[in-house]
């Protein structure tokens, strides 16, 4: 079960980071309210805090998190941007998540 907790935490972290970047995008590119920067900043602060909750070395967490981020970003592309992922998007996401699993869950002697 610690694996599910780790993956769930990574997914929440990725959503916080993407939202923290998406809201300023809406302000800058879609001419939305400057007030979107307030929840964006809060979301990015949440992102940083969530990354700190992992019990392993920060470099390992950051490297593995990238794999989950890629997968969540492709889901965002589909669910929020309304663009259906290509086969290559899905294959690339699967490779990235596989890399995350190897980094986070491989047996270690430390």
Segment 48-93, tens digit of pLDDT: 999 889 877 788 888 888 999 999 999 999 999 999 999 999 999 9
Two tokens at 28? Answer: 């800058």
* Whole-model pTM over 0.75: yes
pLDDT reported for residue 32: 96
Q: Would you list the domain boundaries of the chain?
A: 2-105
pLDDT reported for residue 61: 86
Segment 17-31, tens digit of pLDDT: 999 999 999 999 999
pLDDT reported for residue 98: 94
CB atoms closer than 10 angstroms to residue 98 = 11
């Amino acid at each position: 079960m610690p694996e599910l907790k780790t993956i769930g935490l990574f997914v929440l972290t990725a959503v916080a980071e993407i939202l923290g970047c998406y809201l300023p995008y809406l302000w800058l590119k879609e001419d939305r309210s400057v007030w979107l920067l307030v929840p964006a900043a809060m979301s990015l602060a949440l992102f940083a805090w969530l990354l700190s909750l992992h019990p392993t070395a920060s470099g390992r967490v950051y490297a593995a998190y990238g794999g989950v981020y890629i997968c969540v970003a492709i889901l965002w592309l589909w669910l929020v941007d309304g663009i259906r992922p290509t086969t290559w998007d899905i294959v690339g996401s699967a490779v990235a998540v596989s890399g995350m699993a190897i980094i986070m869950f491989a047996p270690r002697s430390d």
